[in-house]
Amino acid sequence: MGHSIVEDDLKKQLVAMLPVESNVTKITYEGPFLVVYSKNPKVLMEDGEIVKNLARMLRKRILIKSDHDIRMPKDEAEKIIREIVPTDAEITAIAFDDDMGDIVIEAKKPGIVIGKNGSTLRELVKAVFWRPTVVRTPPLTSSLIQNIRRILQQHSATRQAALLNIGQRIHRRLISQTGGWLRLTALGGFREVGRTCLLLETHESKVMIDCGVNVGSSSPTHMFPRLDLPEFELQELDAVIITHAHLDHSGFAPFLYKYGYRGPLYCTEPTRNLMTLLQIDYLEVANREGKLSPYSFRNIQEELIHTIPLKYGEVTDIDPDMRLTYHNAGHILGSAIVHLHLGEGVYNIAFAHDFKYAKSRLLDPATSRFPRIETLIMESTYGGPRDIVASRKESERQIVKIINETINRRGKVLIPVLSVGRAQELMIVLDELTRRKLIPEIPIYLDGMIGEATAIHTCHPEYLSANLRERIFHAHENPFLSEWFTQVENQNTRDEIAESGSCVIMATSGMLAGGPSVEHFRLLAPNEKNSIIFVSYQADRTLGRRIQNGAKEIQMVGPTKKTQLVRVNMDIHTSDGFSGHSDRRQLLNYLRRISPKPEKVVLIHGEESKMLALANTIRRSLRAETLTPQNLETIRMR
């Protein structure tokens, strides 16, 4: 071909450092990874130090793969794998990726496939010459994850080509070696909640952090991030970095692919899966309700092909002058605080968009220790002076009281929830309350994408709290599988539930902005025996907020498309204690304990009055420079 995939001098350097007998046939990029294909990978695998030293010297992440010609034929390889791995590992599936040379082994006991210190896995590689990844067979099957795997498999060649392009771009030469400037532009989610989006630019590169939609809004000027800035050029974007799956952080990302962006999207693996689920649901709800949808299913698929999942703590080059590391944010499964290291340690920024600085049942608290940090971008959702939420214990007592009172008068309890996050937290709580007989054994219905989202949770147990992991793996007590939960399938079931006895209904969406919760509300609202409990943030102008504020009559459209006036006679309650956000106290605690201390704090993700109030307190009591930019403003950091 004449031209080399990896720059010639880097290639020479690499080959010179590898033993001759490793017989390297190709050196290429797969996104941020430098991949070395070898006809004798045993040499490199037996002496792990060679590769480690190489990675250290080149400051790149390196993967060793076997040359295509020496990989064992698939059926033979599958046979050998089943022979080598002890049967009590209970392998449930083995899938091959021809283009990438990868195999995914799904087993009920992945630890046994891996073996002590990875011994079984190493033995496997040397026997079959494929690169194995071991995943746990989830107790609930997620059809979405199966579909994602199928799509990635089908488009493996396209993905490989895309990853090569991405890799070449990441490892391009710096334009100038001297440190330049650094600017952050607010594209959405400033002095408001929804459509979070930021653009970070240096003299070398441009990255976007989060790309959300405001699902509560119906006005086109407030729904989407402001990508209409003259300095925003889609083709110049090096990377899109997503903090977590909620639509107000990820919902607009497929739009970038619709308009020709073909660069990488970084996120954790649970975020990839949950984000895809929520984006698909967003399109389905929009189609069903005749609303504007800014992109199509095809664009979601394109996004998926370009998504590069990263684990917490992995330091990854994303362009010539930025390194990205994800840290636990404690907000929802796979949620992350994004840490960016710019230049050679010149500047460090952490983005704590949505985070919980307290333990929840589902997750461990957000990380507060970073290697370095100059600026912290922090949410302010509950930053107002009155936003001290009840403790988890008090909130649980409150829920017990509401549920029991409602059941005593033969009513039903509706809890509108986000399908990802609060739904699972509440499932763990309701399961425990039932087990401890604090509430009677009544049916708990789940409506919307909750079932699928829960299945995805069971696929990534390593991201759950230490406590919950302990219960699931050692006490064999998985609250998500409890018998009291029933998934609602269709409208008939909703009508039947409305006619039947006492129950709890958890339904999406959390702000009554479309989805089945609206339908349950329409059916249950007129009866004063029923109760509704709001457990998540209700954005301005949403139906949820109006009801929370005491609206007594609501114009609604029923399933037959007829408009009707619904009287709200049911009991209205709010319980913020289950929130995945840090409340005012936790936000301030975080700033006190974060290490090292940032010089500058920039507030995001909060209503204007709360943001300004929190900024005042931070300036006064913590003496930190605190900024509250508006959308479309740019801050210069260096």
Say which DSSP state 211 is in: E
Distance of closest approach, residue 634 Cβ to Zn ion, in angstroms: 25
Least Å from the CB of residue 244 to Zn ion: 6
**Looking at beta carbons only, is 77 or 453 nearer to Zn ion?**
453
The label of the residue with tokens 């290291």 reads: 341
Residue 358: CB minimum distance to Zn ion, A: 15
Closest CA to 240 of 166, 142, 132, 341: 166
DSSP string covering 392-433: HHHHHHHHHHHHHHHHHTT--EEEE--TTTHHHHHHHHHHHH
Q: How far is the CB of 592 from Zn ion (least distance, A)?
A: 23
Q: Pick out residues in 339-358 that bind Zn ion (CB under 5 A).
A: 354
Nearer to Zn ion, 131 or 272 (CB): 272
Nearer to Zn ion, 202 or 214 (CB): 214
Residue pair 194/539 in contact by the 8 Å Cβ criterion: yes
Task: Report how far residue 419's alpha carbon sits from residue 605's, in angstroms, rounded to the nearest whole number.
Answer: 20
If the CB atoms of residues 196 and 202 are measured against Zn ion, the closer one turns out to be 196
- C-alpha 186/C-alpha 635 separation (Å) is 8
Read off the tokens for 126.
């040397």
Answer whether 461's CB lies under 8 Å from 469's CB.
Answer: yes
Q: Which candidate, 280, 221, 220, places its Cα nearest to that of 250?
A: 280
8 Å CB contact between 308 and 332: no
Closest approach of Zn ion to the CB of residue 582, in Å: 12
Pick between residue 114 and residue 193 the one whose CB is nearest to Zn ion.
193
Q: How far apart are alpha carbons 253 and 247 in whole angstroms?
A: 9
User: Which tokens is 62 given?
Assistant: 């390196």
Cα–Cα distance list, 618 to 165, 358, 385, 589, 621 (Å): 44, 20, 12, 11, 5
CA distance 370 to 286: 40
CB of 352 to Zn ion, least distance (A): 12
CB closer to Zn ion, 250 vs 531 = 250
User: CA dist 238 to 11, 185, 423, Å?
Assistant: 24, 15, 35
Measure the CA–CA gap between 462 and 608, rounded to whole angstroms.
37
Closer CB to Zn ion, 324 or 329, in the complex: 329
Nearest distance, CB of residue 285 and Zn ion, angstroms: 18
Q: To the nearest whole angstrom, how small is the minimum distance from the Cβ of residue 194 to Zn ion?
A: 10
Rounded CA gap, 265 and 243, in Å?
Answer: 11
The CA-atom distances, in angstroms, between 312 and each of 105, 243, 247, 582 are 22, 12, 21, 20
Residue 579: CB minimum distance to Zn ion, A = 10
Does position 387 interact with Zn ion (CB under 5 A)? The reply is: no
Angle at 131 between CA 130 and CA 136, to 5 degrees: 120
Task: Tell me whether residue 202 or residue 380 sits nearer to Zn ion (CB atom).
Answer: 380
**Whole-number minimum distance, CB 269 to Zn ion, in Å?**
17
Residues 238-277 that bind Zn ion (CB under 5 A): 246
Question: Cβ closer to Zn ion: 330 or 451?
Answer: 330
Q: Which is nearer to Zn ion, 65 or 244 (CB)?
A: 244
* Shortest distance, position 246 Cβ to Zn ion, whole Å: 4
The size of the interface with Zn ion (CB under 5 A), counted in residues, is 2
Question: Which tokens is 139 given?
Answer: 């107790």
Q: Please, which residue, 130 or 590, has the CB nearer to Zn ion?
A: 590
Q: Which residues pair with 446 in a beta bridge?
A: 487, 506
514: CB partners within 8 A, 6+ apart: 215, 285, 289, 291
Binding positions for Zn ion, rule: CB under 5 A = 246, 354
